[in-house]
Chain A
Amino acid sequence: MFTRLAPLLLIISIGLAGILSFRTPQLRFVQDIAVQVFAPVQWALSGPSAGVAEFFQNFQGISDLRAENARLREEVDRLTQETVRLPELERENQELLAQLNLKRSQPTYQWITAKVIYYDPSNLVQSLTINRGSKDGLREGMTVITPAALVGRITRVSPATARVLLITDASSSVTAMIQSSRTKGVVNGQRREFLKMKYIPQSETVRTGDKVITSGVGGVFPEGILIGSVTNVSKKDTDIFQEADIEPGANLASLDTVLVIINHMPVTLD
C-alpha cells in the first residue's frame, strides 16, 4: 500500500516544499543555492538548445524571407508594368480627348481609328500602310486625318490593310482655301515636310500664319479639314498667281494612329 502511494507522496512533498520555499523567505536561500549549482549546467544546456531552436527559427525565417522576396518581386514587376502602362494610358487618354474635340467640331463625320504599320521605305514616295482594310469597311479614296489635321487619302485596300498616300507626296493635290479670307487654291506635296499652295490669285492677301483648310471643291476631300499653316508667301508681279509654303498641321513623318472618315466618299463622274 505504502509502496503504491510512494510516488504520489513524493510529488506532494516536492510540491509542498516548493510552496513553503516560496511562502517562507527564510527557505529561499535553499532555492538560491540550487540556482547557483544548476545555473552552469542550465547555461551549458540552454546554449546549444537555443542554437538549435534558432537554427529552426532561421530555417523558418528563410522560408518566410523567400516568400516575402517572391511577393516583393511580384510587387516590383507590377509597379514596373504600371510605370510603363501609365504614360501609354495618358497618351491614349490624350488621343481620345483630341478625338472627342474633333467630334464636337466636326459632328457630321464618322471615322474609325487605325494604327500605322509602316511607312514606304522609299524617300521618293510619301505613303504609309494602316492596319485596317476592306473587311473594316475601308474603300479607296477615303479621307485619312488625325485629330490635328489632314493626312491623305486611301489609294489601295486589301482585306486587312490599306495604303494611304500622304498629302506631302508630289502626286497629291488637295483643293484648299485660306480659312480667314476664303481664298481658294490647290495644295501640292513637295516630297518634303512642306506643302505648296498654288493658284492663289494675285489680288488676294495671304499672310504668314493663316490657316489653310480643305475647300471640298472637286469632292475628293470633305470640306473644312485643317491642312496646315502658311509659313512663307511667294508673290511676283510677273506671275498670274502667287504661291504659299504650308507647314502641315499633323506631324506626317511620325504618325502612330490615324482616323479614316468612313461616311464621305469621293465624288466620281461615273
Chain B
Amino acid sequence: MAGAVIQSTILPHFSIWGLRIELVLLLVVSWSMLQGPEAGILWAIVGGLGLDLFSAVPFGTMTTALALTSFVIGKVGIGLLRTNSLLPIAMAPVATALFNGTVALILEGFGWHLPWSELLTGVILPLALLDTVAMVPVFGLLYGLHSRTQPEINW
C-alpha cells in the first residue's frame, strides 16, 4: 500500500520520458521470486488493490494483472535465482511487458480503444528499460531483507 502511495504521489515528480517507475510491480515480482509465487500472489493482491484505489481503470484491473504477473514471474524467477542471484533482475522487462500488456488487454475488454503500436513503442519498451534499472536497488533491498529474516531460501 505504501508502494502504491509512493508510486502515485512521489514518483510522478521524477518521471522520465513522461513515464513513472512501477514500484509496486517491482516489489511484488521481487518478493515472488524470493519467496515463491504463492507468497507473491498475496503481495500482488494487496499491492494491486492499492493501485486500483488510486487508478481510473476499472476496479480490479491492476489486482488481476499484478497477480498474474507475480505468479508467472515467481515460477520462472525462483528457478533463475538458484543459478545466479542477479539473473532475476533480467525478469524486470518481462514483468513490465506482461503486467502492462495484461492491463491493456483488460481495458480493451472494457471497451477502451488503445493505440497498440504507440503503446508498445511509447510506453512498454521505454518503461521496461526504466523498470530494469530500478529493479537493481529494489531487488537488492528485498534480497537483503529476505536474507536477514530467512537466511535459508526454501526452494
CB-defined interface of B86-118 with A at 8 Å, one 1/0 digit per residue?
000000000000001001100100001111001
- 1/0 contact string of B1-35 vs chain A (CB within 8 Å): 00011011100110101111010100000000000
A236-261 to B contact mask, C-beta < 8 Å, 1/0: 00000000000000000110000000
Contacts of A254 in B (CB 8 A): 12-13, 15
Nearest-CB distance from B13 to chain A (Å)?
Answer: 5
Binds B, one of A8-16, A91-99, A185-193: A185-193
Interface: A21 (CB within 8 A): no
Decide: B57 and A125 in contact? CB cutoff 8 A: yes
Whether A123 lies near B113 (C-beta < 8 A) is no
List the B side residues contacting A253 at CB < 8 Å.
12-13, 15, 18
Q: How many of chain B's residues touch chain A, expressed as a range?
A: 20 to 34
Instruction: Say whether A124 contacts B18, CB under 8 Å.
Output: no
CB–CB A124/B119 < 8 A: yes
A150-176 interface bits toward B, Cβ cutoff 8 Å, 1 = contact, 0 = none? 000001100000010100101100000
Tell me which of A120, A168, A171, A190 contacts B113 (CB under 8 A).
A171
- Option from A122, A170, A193 in Cβ contact (under 8 Å) with B62: A122
Contact B119 A191 (CB under 8 A): yes
A121 located at the interface, meaning its Cβ lies under 8 Å from any Cβ of chain B in the complex: yes
Please state if A122 and B19 are interface contacts (CB–CB under 8 Å): no
Chain A 173-204, CB-CB to B under 8 Å as 1, else 0, gives 00000000000000000111110000000000
Total of A-B residue pairs, C-beta within 8 Å:
86
A126 — nearest CB in chain B belongs to which residue? B18
User: How many angstroms from the CA of A135 to the CA of B112 in the assembled complex?
Assistant: 30
B28 to nearest A CB, angstroms?
13
Contacts of A124 in B (CB 8 A): 57, 100, 103-104, 107, 114, 119, 123
Of chain A, the residue at the smallest CB distance from B22 is: A123
Let me know if B123 and A120 touch, CB within 8 A.
no
Residue with the highest number of chain A CB atoms closer than 10 Å, among B24, B114, B122: B122
Taken together as a complex, chains A and B put the C-alpha atoms of A127 and B5 apart, in Å, by 15
- Indicate the member of B56, B100, B103, B107 with the most A CB atoms within 10 Å: B56
- Closest residue of chain B to A127 (Cβ to Cβ) is B56
A121 with B103, Cβ < 8 A, contacts A155-B56, A254-B13, A254-B15 known: no
Contact status A121-B55, CB under 8 Å: yes
Which residues on the A side are within 8 Å of B78 (C-beta)? none
Interface range on chain A (Cβ under 8 Å from partner): 20 to 34
Nearest residue (CB) in A for B61 is: A122
- Report chain B residues within 8 Å CB of A171: 112-113
B54 contacts the other chain (CB 8 A) = yes
CB distance from A28 to the nearest CB of B (A): 88
| Residue A111 CB within 8 A of the other chain | no
User: Can you identify 29 A-B contacts, CB atoms within 8 angstroms?
Assistant: A117-B9, A118-B54, A119-B8, A120-B8, A121-B4, A121-B20, A121-B22, A121-B24, A121-B55, A122-B56, A123-B19, A124-B100, A124-B123, A125-B55, A127-B56, A129-B54, A156-B56, A163-B56, A170-B115, A171-B112, A171-B113, A190-B118, A191-B123, A192-B17, A192-B122, A192-B123, A193-B17, A253-B13, A253-B18
In order of increasing CB-CB distance, the 4 nearest A-B pairs are A193-B18, A119-B12, A118-B8, A121-B8
Which A residues contact B (CB, under 8 angstroms)? 117-125, 127, 129, 155-156, 163, 165, 168, 170-171, 190-194, 253-254
B-to-A contact residues, CB < 8 Å: 4-5, 7-9, 12-13, 15, 17-20, 22, 24, 51, 54-57, 62, 100, 103-104, 107, 112-115, 118-119, 122-123, 127
